[in-house]
Amino acid sequence: DQPFVLIAGPCQIESAAHAQETAQALREICGALGLGLIYKSSYDKANRTSVSAQRGIGMNEGLQILSDIRETLQIPVLTDVHTAEQCAPAAQAVDVLQIPAFLCRQTDLLLAAGQTGAVVNVKKGQFLAPWDMQHVAHKIASTGNKRIMLCERGTSFGYNTLVNDMRGLPIMAQTGYPVVFDATHSVQQPGGQGTSSGGQREFAPILARAALATGVASLFIEVHQDPDRAPSDGPNMLPISALPRLFEQFRQLDSLVKQFI
Amino acid sequence: DQPFVLIAGPCQIESAAHAQETAQALREICGALGLGLIYKSSYDKANRTSVSAQRGIGMNEGLQILSDIRETLQIPVLTDVHTAEQCAPAAQAVDVLQIPAFLCRQTDLLLAAGQTGAVVNVKKGQFLAPWDMQHVAHKIASTGNKRIMLCERGTSFGYNTLVNDMRGLPIMAQTGYPVVFDATHSVQQPGGQGTSSGGQREFAPILARAALATGVASLFIEVHQDPDRAPSDGPNMLPISALPRLFEQFRQLDSLVKQFI
Amino acid sequence: DQPFVLIAGPCQIESAAHAQETAQALREICGALGLGLIYKSSYDKANRTSVSAQRGIGMNEGLQILSDIRETLQIPVLTDVHTAEQCAPAAQAVDVLQIPAFLCRQTDLLLAAGQTGAVVNVKKGQFLAPWDMQHVAHKIASTGNKRIMLCERGTSFGYNTLVNDMRGLPIMAQTGYPVVFDATHSVQQPGGQGTSSGGQREFAPILARAALATGVASLFIEVHQDPDRAPSDGPNMLPISALPRLFEQFRQLDSLVKQFI
Amino acid sequence: DQPFVLIAGPCQIESAAHAQETAQALREICGALGLGLIYKSSYDKANRTSVSAQRGIGMNEGLQILSDIRETLQIPVLTDVHTAEQCAPAAQAVDVLQIPAFLCRQTDLLLAAGQTGAVVNVKKGQFLAPWDMQHVAHKIASTGNKRIMLCERGTSFGYNTLVNDMRGLPIMAQTGYPVVFDATHSVQQPGGQGTSSGGQREFAPILARAALATGVASLFIEVHQDPDRAPSDGPNMLPISALPRLFEQFRQLDSLVKQFI
């Protein structure tokens, strides 16, 4: 089995400079450890809790920034799309189109993403059983595009709480598609701060280790220089300064576990 | 307090003739009982389990059929919208725009629906706590349109199962907006039949009675002449032949409960 | 169908005088409304959150108090038992033995309760599906005693939260045994106050109405003159002063619904 | 941090010969890998789904068999107790008393177990949040006995399903007591086979790896020579023939992870 690949970056594209700086820092850390990296960031937060929360930098500017990072740093980049119309332009700028969890059943969006030929990473809806992701994958694959990744980011568990069923990772892997574990959204507390979502950053590395121990293809982690000042998802993002030590642990763990499988 | 209003109709618009026939049957039943009726039907099933499931008649033809029913039968009509772009044309043809549960956090869709000035009925996401619907309502209300309805249709409970927390009905009513109880989607078993959703039609009237006993403003029920042959949601739709007796029970129950409040 | 029977009383037996006073108040209220009453109270709280919480008056004294109430007020009485050994002496003093939810799978306790010949009211475990209560009933019935009642008091829903699945009431009724709805424990928030359980008293009447609308045989409600000063379950008990108006509503609702069934 | 200790054995004590044979096999496997072993087996299955399911060999005979294993094989032994009265005699025969999950809130049982001075392993109730186990531990510790272990075996998740929240392991560890992960009961499907519980044996090693990756003190695994013919818990027990390879993986994983902590 292949070593795990990191999908990492800040929740939002804050500015060209901030994006470049974060991408460079991540490339350096991953390079030193021999880890593959896909840079992740969003140009629009389309489903925030509150209407007055910050939406993001916008599609045109955001895609330009991601495309620049891809070119200057020579790393693949990922962003999420929210409508069928966004898929084609986004696929020009990035390598991986991501389908948000709430939208993972929207047939038109899945088909449009598939039709671009780009890799499509679908987050499992919080309302979906892991075995039902095969139908989601099948929608994309019906376009002829089988470059699909399936991503666990937590399942509804009572109110304002998510839980990861680690059995879901091997169940989704039975589709034959690579499985991603999203460690930082899994510790979100949706709506847990009243007008925004809370998070339990301290559990993200623990859940990441648990997921790696089951043998996943990729780890998704949102990171920030200063999470407590980030415009969104601050409570669950990890500080960049913590990454070298963590990623080294993850690398060793992944390498050991992949020997078992 | 006002008597409850019925939102009823077949899941899909199957044809102009079928839609007219169903609407007439419902108007007759509700008229005989003195119940308010909003006719409901969908022109597109945008998030079906399987890519090969029947999508629907399409927006243009569907809206024409609904608009004809509104005119010829003089009853308000409701349909669901799936993108911001669909809101304006849909609002020309129908009285109530419905936001599907999976999409209840998509800010652009909520704003576009609100901006039409039409009544907006939002289904509570299966992943959302009832108190978090206030933020959803607030997004719509930020457009100046306060003609909002909030609809319970079940909350994720383990895998492939929904549960109705009846406390959620008075909690959502604290927003001041009318609360709708969707009795037939609440008995869906999402993904419960492998490549499509199952349902427990036999519990829909029981849950409807329970919801009415808490004092809701409206009841949402999908109905069909022959549910077992319907192109979607058959397992949970109620046969039209059962409605006169059920609606008479609901009317009496509602009338008694509204005296208590 | 028969009118519903009330099972009511304070969580704990606080003293002979307090028990008599509460039982008399309830008998008066129920008598005025023509409602059947079973007086409920506990001599031991055997599974409190904290070791330092008040346990209760003890079995010998408690059973004497209940037996006195039965004799002087001529009403049936109910108490809960926690070990097989307690069943025989308890059955001498009371008419109904209650099996606590956590203990609803303990075979020896169920058999010992059944063997007394007393009516046995089993609370559905928070961890149990409604259809699994048939096996619990079957254990009791294997003693030859079929005087069984099955009681819904909430199902685990995430952490520190219970939810009532109203479908569970007709499902349990399929056993042929009368179904009880426990309105005040259903609004408990287990562990919700750190070292004790919280509760949402305001939702108990709403859930009681919802359950009655499905057609239950009995309603279980814990009551107190002054719930906020009660030694246990204060946050979810209803004040006695609120009962006449509520019970009158329940009576009307039950009477209407029983006509439908 | 110390290497993890194995708690392993067949669900039921089937006979003296079967118990000895299993214990010897486990001692050999663990000895070869340098793993600590506590032998586990039950003399009574006190809460089976069905009244006609096999209960077990009984306390007197069962304790004798366990005590013989302890003496002849020189390994610590564990069994579960179901009433306060069983604690003292059981503590004479075994090193660790185990409190079943359904009984984890029964104050008298916890106190009686604590008072023996034996180590007490408490299974977290399927209905309990991990942070609420501190109150359970505190009940035992109030006897002066702080030799306590807290064990995760799954949390209720919808009907007939358990889920492991891996965050619960470090949360319970905050009490300062060693945390055990029960890999085979976690894959139980309670009531999942109608009159008995189902299980998903194939996921037990995966969940065990995930739990070890978070850094637990102990792993609890039920094993059998021929699980499909075992009198109880067959669907989730692991075959002994699979253990050498699995335990070697677990040892390596644990050793790596303990370096991180």
Whether C165 sits inside 8 A of B164 (CB atoms) is yes
Q: Identify whether D83 is part of a domain.
A: yes
CA atoms of B148 and B247, how far apart (whole Å) = 24
- Rounded mean pLDDT of chain C? 95
Residues D193-233: pLDDT tens digits?
Answer: 777 778 889 999 999 999 999 999 999 999 999 999 988 88
Identify the helix (H) or strand (E) that includes residue C67: helix C59-73
Whether residue B254 lies inside any domain: the answer is yes
* C20 conformational bin, left if phi > 0, alpha if psi -120 to 50, beta if neither: alpha
Q: pLDDT band at residue B243, thresholds of 50, 70 and 90? A: very high
For residue B172, which residues of chain C lie inside 8 Å, CB to CB? none
- As given in the structure block, the two tokens for residue A128 are 């979906």
Q: What is the β-pairing status of strands C77-80 and A198-199?
A: unpaired
- Predicted pLDDT at A234: 86
Average pLDDT over residues C148-162: 97
Calculate mean pLDDT across residues A128-157: 98
- Asked whether C120 and C102 are in contact (CB, 8 A), the reply is no
DSSP letter at A80 equals: E
- Look at residue A51 in the predicted model and tell me its pLDDT: 85
pLDDT classification of B247: cutoffs 50, 70, 90: very high
Residue B113 domain-assigned? Answer: no
∠C51-C57-C59 over CA atoms, to 5°? 100
Classify residue C195 by its DSSP letter: S
pLDDT above 90 for C162: yes
Interchain pair D83, C83: CB under 8 A:
yes
D206 and A256 within 8 Å at the Cβ level: the answer is: no
What pLDDT does A197 receive?
Answer: 77
pLDDT at D192: 66
Indicate the residue of D170, D203, D253 with minimum beta-carbon distance to A206.
D170
Read off the pLDDT of each residue in C68-87 and give the average, rounded to a whole number: 97
What residues in D contact C197, CB-CB < 8 Å? none
Domain extent, residue C245, equals 5-106+183-260
And the tokens for C157? Answer: 């829903």
CA A2/CA B98 separation, integer angstroms: 46
Please, what's the largest Cα pairwise distance for chain B? 49
Q: Cite the DSSP H helix spans in D43-150.
A: 59-73, 84-93, 107-115, 133-141
CA distances (Å), B214 to each of A221, B27, B173, C180, in order? 44, 26, 11, 19
Specify the pLDDT at position D234: 86
Residue A204 clears pLDDT 80, i.e. is over it = yes
ipTM over 0.90: yes
Sign of the CA dihedral D40, D42, D46, D52?
A: positive
**Element holding B208 (H helix, E strand):** helix B204-214
Neighbours of C88 (CB within 10 A): 15
d(CA C233, CA C238): 10
Q: What is the spatial distance between Cα B44 and Cα B50, in angstroms, rounded to a whole number?
A: 14
Smallest CA–CA distance, residue A192 to chain B, in Å, is 9
Average pLDDT over residues A117-142: 97
Return the CATH number at B15. Answer: 3.20.20.70
User: Can you say whether the dihedral through the CA atoms of A127, A130, A134, A140 is positive or negative?
Assistant: positive
Please check whether residue D198 touches A, CB under 8 A.
no
Is B139 contained in some domain?
A: no
B190 belongs to a structural domain:
yes
Chains that touch D (3 or more CB pairs under 8 A): A, B, C
Asked, for residue D200, whether it belongs to a domain, the answer is no
CA distance B54 to chain D (A): 30
Query: Which chain D positions have a beta carbon within 8 Å of A165's beta carbon?
Result: 157, 163-164
Does residue C55 surpass a pLDDT of 80? yes
Q: In this structure, what token pair is assigned to residue A99?
A: 């389908």
Q: How far is A162 from chain C (nearest CA, A)?
A: 9
How many domains is chain A partitioned into structurally?
Answer: 1
Instruction: Note whether D138 contacts C50, CB cutoff 8 Å.
Output: yes
D107 at interface of C, judged by CB pairs closer than 8 A = yes
A60 CB-near residues (< 8 Å, 6+ apart): none
User: Which chain D positions have a beta carbon within 8 Å of A169's beta carbon?
Assistant: 206
| Contact residues for C95 (Cβ-Cβ < 8 A; gap 6+) | C38, C70, C76, C77, C78, C118, C119
The packing angle between helices C133-141 and C107-115, to 10°, is 50
- Beta bridge partner(s), residue D82: none
Site of tokens 């027990």: D237
Does the structure show a pLDDT above 70 at A142?
A: yes
Q: What is the pLDDT of residues A210-252, one digit of tens each?
A: 999 999 999 999 999 999 998 888 889 999 999 999 999 999 9
Residue spans of alpha helices (H) in chain D: 16-33, 59-73, 84-93, 107-115, 133-141, 168-173, 204-214, 243-260
Q: What's the pLDDT band for A70 if we cut at 50, 70, 90?
A: very high
Residue C194 pLDDT exceeds 80: no
**Residue B56 burial by CB count (10 A; 0-12/13-18/19+): exposed, middle or buried?**
buried
> With bands split at pLDDT 50, 70 and 90, how would you rate the model's confidence at B192?
low
Whether the CB-CB separation of A196 and A50 falls below 8 Å is answered with yes
Q: Is A64 exposed, middle or buried (0-12, 13-18, 19+ CB in 10 A)?
A: middle
The span from the CA of C101 to the CA of C127, in Å, is 9
Best mutation target, B105, B115, B124, B148, to test chain A (most A CBs within 10 A): B105
Dist. CA C96–CA C5, nearest whole Å: 13
Place B182 in a pLDDT band, splitting at 50, 70 and 90: very high
DSSP SS3 for A129: coil
Q: State which H helix or E strand residue C19 sits in.
A: helix C16-33
Which chain A residues in 145-184 lie under 8 Å from chain C, judged by CB atoms? 157-159, 161
Q: Largest alpha-carbon pair distance within chain A?
A: 49
Quick one: CA dihedral C79, C83, C85, C88, positive or negative?
Answer: positive
Residue C163 lies in a domain: no
Would you state the pLDDT for residue C1?
79
Which CA distances in Å does C4 have to C35, C179, D49? 8, 10, 30
Query: A119 - beta bridge partners?
Result: A96
Q: C107-124, pLDDT tens digit by residue?
A: 999 999 999 999 999 999
* The pLDDT of residue C207: 98
Q: Which helix (H) or strand (E) holds B99?
A: strand B96-99
Residue C16: pLDDT band (50, 70, 90) is: very high
Q: Which two tokens stand for residue C248?
A: 């009158």
Judging contacts by C-beta atoms under 8 Å, the chain B residues touching residue D157 are: 158-159
Kindly indicate the confidence band of residue A192, based on its pLDDT and cuts at 50, 70 and 90: low
Measure CB to CB from residue C48 to each of D107, D111, D125 and give the nearest one: D107
What residue in C sits closest to B260 (Cα-Cα)? C249
pLDDT at C192 over 70: no
The C-alpha atoms of residue A22 and residue A226 are separated, in whole angstroms, by 11
For residue C195, being part of any structural domain is answered with yes
More confident residue, B46 or D258: D258
C189 Cβ under 8 Å from any chain D Cβ = no
The residue in chain A having the minimum alpha-carbon distance to the alpha carbon of residue C162 is: A158
Report residue C163's pLDDT band, with 50, 70 and 90 as the boundaries: very high
Bridging pattern class, strands A238-239 and A36-40: unpaired
The segments of chain D whose pLDDT lies below 50 read none
At how many degrees (to 10) do helices C204-214 and C243-260 cross?
Answer: 20
Taking CA–CA distances from B162, the nearest residue in chain D reads D158
Q: How many other C-beta atoms can be found within 10 angstroms of the C-beta atom of residue A193? A: 13
How far CA A168 is from CA of A174, A179, D165, in Å, comes to 10, 10, 13
- Give C124 to chain D, closest Cα distance, Å: 12
Q: Do A157 and C161 touch (CB under 8 A)?
A: no
CA atoms of A181 and A4, how far apart (whole Å): 10
A9-58 pLDDT, tens digit each: 999 999 999 999 999 999 999 999 999 999 999 999 989 888 888 889 99
Q: Which residues from D are below 8 Å from B157, CB to CB?
A: 158-159
Q: How far is B230 from chain A (nearest CA, A)?
A: 20
